[in-house]
A and B are shown apart, each in its own frame.
Chain A
Amino acid sequence: MTAHDPVITELAEANPVSGETSSDPGDRAEAERIMRRVLAGDQGPPPQRWRRSGLLAPVVSVVVVLAVAAVLLRTGGSSHGSPSSGGSPTITLVAEPTSQTPRITSSALTRELSLVRQRLATVNRHFSVTRGRGNSLVITVPGASAAQRARLLALVTQTAQLTMYDWEANVVAPNGRTVAQDLRTQSPAVIALSQGANRGAGQSGAGSLPLYDAVKLAAKQPPRALSPSMARMGPEYYMFGAPSSPACAAAAAAAHTAPVPGTHCLLAGPLDLPGHISRQRALQAFATQLSAGVSAAAGQVLAVPQGTRVLQALAPEQVDAASPAAQFFVLRDDVALNGHDIVSPRRTADASGQSAVSFGLTAAGERLFQAATRAVARRGDEASTLGETLDQHFAIVLDSRLLTVPSIDFKQYPDGIQTTQADIAGGFTRQSAGDLATQLRYGALPLALRVVR
C-alpha cells in the first residue's frame, strides 16, 4: 500500500540521512568508540554530553534563551536583518583570465565592459562602469542600497556560461545511472528526479542532495573523454571537513556562521586543476583557499571527473551555493545547446496572459533544439503508459545553477519542437519571468571579475 503512496514517496525523498554504511573516517571512529564503550562494561561513567551537570544545564539553557530573546527583540521577531547603508559609491574589480580566455587582451576587456554595462542596467540605469588602471573596471553606484550592491556584485562576478541539457538523459540517480537509463524501473528515486515529487523537476527536495552527497556521487562517475558537447574541461576538486570536526568549526568561525551538526562542510573549492593530480598536489592547491586555523590535512578531497557536473537545484527562494540549505543534482555533461544558440530572450505573456519567457534561436540553435526536444519527446512517449504521463524535461543552466527545467508535451510535439522562437510558460510571476529573461540575456563574460575594493 505504501510503495507508490505520494506522501510516503515525498517523505522518503526528504530523508535527511542515508542509513548506508559510512566510509567516512570520523563516522567509523565513532562506531568503534561506541562499540568499545558498550563492551568496556556498562558500569562506566555516564555519557558526558547529554547527562550534563544538573547544576550547569539550566544555566546554559537560560543563557541560550536569553540570547535568542535578545536577538528576537532586536529584530522585532523577524529573521531579516535591517538593511545597512550603501557604503562607498564605487566598486573596483579586476579582470582575470578564464579557461575560455586565457589571455587578457584589449578586445576581451572591451567586450567585458560592454557586457557588464548591460548587466548593470538591469539593476539601475544610473549605475555606470569604466575602465580603471591596468585590467580593472570601476563601477559607480551612486546611492545604491546594500541590497542593490549585493545584487549587482552577484550579477557582474558571474562569468555566466549558459547551457541546456536533456534533463532525464543527464541527471544521475543515486545508483550512478541516469534517470533515462532507469525510467522503465519507475523506482521512487528515478520518478522523483524525473517528475519532481509535487514540486517540479530540478527543484530542491525533488531528489536533490546536499553538496557533500552530490559531490560524492559525482566523484564515483567514470571520467569521460573530452568532447565538444561538454561545458567543463578536466576534473573539479572539492575539499570537505568531517561533521563536527575542528576544521568545520574553524571554517564556520571564519565565515561568521555556525557549523551545521552532523553534516560535512565545504572547506575549499570547487577548484579546476589540470588533469588528474595526486592528493598531495590537490592539498597544496587548496592551501591558499583555506580559512585561518584550517589545516589542509584535515580535509577530504573529492574530484568530480570530466564529463560530470554538480549543479545547484532550483529553490523557491535563491540560496547561496555555500549555504548548508543549498541542494544539488549530479548531471552528465552532455550539452544540447549553448547560450550562443539563443537570441533575444525577453519576458512576454502566454495565451492566458500569464507571464512567460520567450527566446529566439539561431539557425544552428534551431536544428539543435529540435534534435534535443525530439529525443526528450520520444522518451516521454515511450515511458508513458496508459493513464500515466511521464513528461520529460529540458534543463537550462547558468554556470553551476539550474535556472528552469520545463517539460515538453510529447503529445503536442512528438517530433520535437521545430521553431525559430520558443516560449517557457507556467509558474512565473512578472518578476521571475523578467529575471529569467535577464539571465538568459547575460551572455558569457570573457573574463572573470574579482572585487578588490
Chain B
Amino acid sequence: MARAPDAALFERLYRACYEDLLRYALRRTGQPETAADVVADTFLVAWRRFDDIPADNGRAWLFGVARNVLANQHRAARRGTDLAARLRHELGGAIVTAPEAPAEISAAFATLSAADQELLRLVGWEGLSAEELAVALDCSANAARIRLHRARTRFAEALRSPSFTK
C-alpha cells in the first residue's frame, strides 16, 4: 500500500457496492457463511489496494477481486481477526433458492467450462458490460469481448446439441 486510503472515498465505494457484492457472493456460493467471508475478504483487499482501484470502474474492479477471492476460498485459511463475524451472524437467515428455469438451459450451462460460466454470469446475473468485464478480468476490453463472444457461442452450441434439444 503506497498511501493511506482516503477513508471517505473508500466508504463511498463500499456503501455503493456492498449490496451488489453481497448478492454476487450469495448467488455464487449459495452459502451465507461463505458469502460473508467473500464479501469481507474482497473489501479488505480493496482497502489495502485502494490505489489500484480505477476511479471510474470501482464496482467492476471489486467484482474482479471477489471472483479471485471465490476461486481461492477453498484454500483460504481462517483469519486471526474475524472480519466477517457480524455479517455472518446477520446473514444467517438468508435464503438462496434455485430459480425455476427450463432444465435444458441449466443443463447446457452446466456443460460450459468454469471460466465461461463465470463470464456469462458476470454479464447475465450481475449486469457487467464488456468494458466492466475487462476490468473484472484484468484484461483488455477487446480480449473481454472476444472471450464473452466465445462463451456465448459455446453456450448457444450447447443448447443446440442433440442431447438438449427435444
| A, B in one complex | no
Which residues of B approach A to under 8 Å, CB–CB? none
Which residues of A approach B to under 8 Å, CB–CB? none
